Amino acid sequence: MANETHMSVSVWRGDAVGSFQPFEVKVEDNQTVLDVVAWIQQYADPTLSYRYACRVGMCGSCAMMVNGTPRWTCRTHVKKVLVDGHMQIAPLRNLPVIKDLATDMDPFFDKWVAAEGVHHPTLTRNDPIEALDPAAEARVESAAGIECINCSVCYAACDTVANNPDFLGPAALQRAWSVYNDSKNADKQAVLDAVSGVGGCHNCHSQGSCAVHCPNALNPMNAIAGLKRETARNFFKRRS
């Protein structure tokens, strides 16, 4: 039972089919959700599967659903999320579960590629390095999304992804917007074409869950609005 010295933690066990297993974990002064998961795996049940790497909010590996909300667990303090001494930890929403808290991230990263968020170089390795103006309007737009750590929190938060498995999702589209605005990107049209298909940016309902839950306070919804604007502009240009 939960009291001042211990918390009760419900952890998802299984894959798509499974159930929550209760654990008793000692409350510490400074403790993240990831610390709790690690403690359970090390001291209570070594068969628990989960994923993490850097523990400092850089790698984007440890995102999970905490009390139904997607969070980066390494930077989420237990005290912030405990409700009456209890919390529930589940695998990320909108992704297939491999086992327990580990999800299959392939659909998420496949969509990054599908959104054409890849570099199309303007120069070769033999050319001198091109200088960038950090204050240029397009550079500011591009820079707004580059702190993304690929954690998939926005993808898990998105109701459009939940209802439309084809939708590329906030992170991939934000990447496409960063690449589109990069002056070192040679093929803007490839990006616009990639985000204009069946699962493209036009599916977004601007609900904004991505911007609310992004642990780095990025705004993918704004990037998607930019893509909608540019594709609409381009729609008439290409026909004239």
Partner 1 sequence: MTLGLYMAQRISALIMAPLVLLHIGVMIYAIQGGLSAAEILGRTKGSILWFAVYGTFVAAVSVHGAIGLRTVLSEWMGLRGGTLNAAAWAIFALLLVLGMLAVHGVTAR
Q: Does 152 bind partner 1 (CB under 8 A)?
A: no
Three-state secondary structure string covering the chain: CCCCCEEEEEEEEECCCEEEEEEEEECCCCCEHHHHHHHHHHHHCCCCCCCCCCCCCCCCCCEEEECCEEEEHHHCEHHHHCECCEEEEECCCCCCEEECCEECCHHHHHHHHHCCCCCCECCCCCCCCCCCCCCCHHHHHHHCCCCCCCCCHHHHHCHHHHHCCCCCCHHHHHHHHHHHCCCCECCHHHHHHHCCCCCCHHHCCCCCHHHHHCCCCCCHHHHHHHHHHHHHHHHHHHHC
**Min separation Cβ 192 and partner 1, Å:** 9
Using rule CB under 8 A, residue 138 touches partner 1: no
Under the binding rule (CB under 8 A), the answer on residue 228 touching partner 1 is: yes
Q: Does 163 bind partner 1 (CB under 8 A)?
A: yes
Q: Which is nearer to partner 1, 169 or 200 (CB)?
A: 200
Single out the residue of 150, 196, 216, 222 in contact with partner 1 (rule: CB under 8 A): 196
Residue 235 binds to partner 1 (criterion: CB under 8 A): yes
139 binds partner 1 (CB under 8 A): no
Among 160, 174, 185, 209, binds partner 1 (CB under 8 A): 160
Residue 202 binds partner 1, judged by CB under 8 A: yes
Stretch that binds partner 1, among 63-71, 120-128, 142-150, 230-238 (CB under 8 A): 230-238
What residues line the site for partner 1 (CB under 8 A)? Answer: 160, 163-164, 196-198, 200, 202-203, 228, 231-232, 235
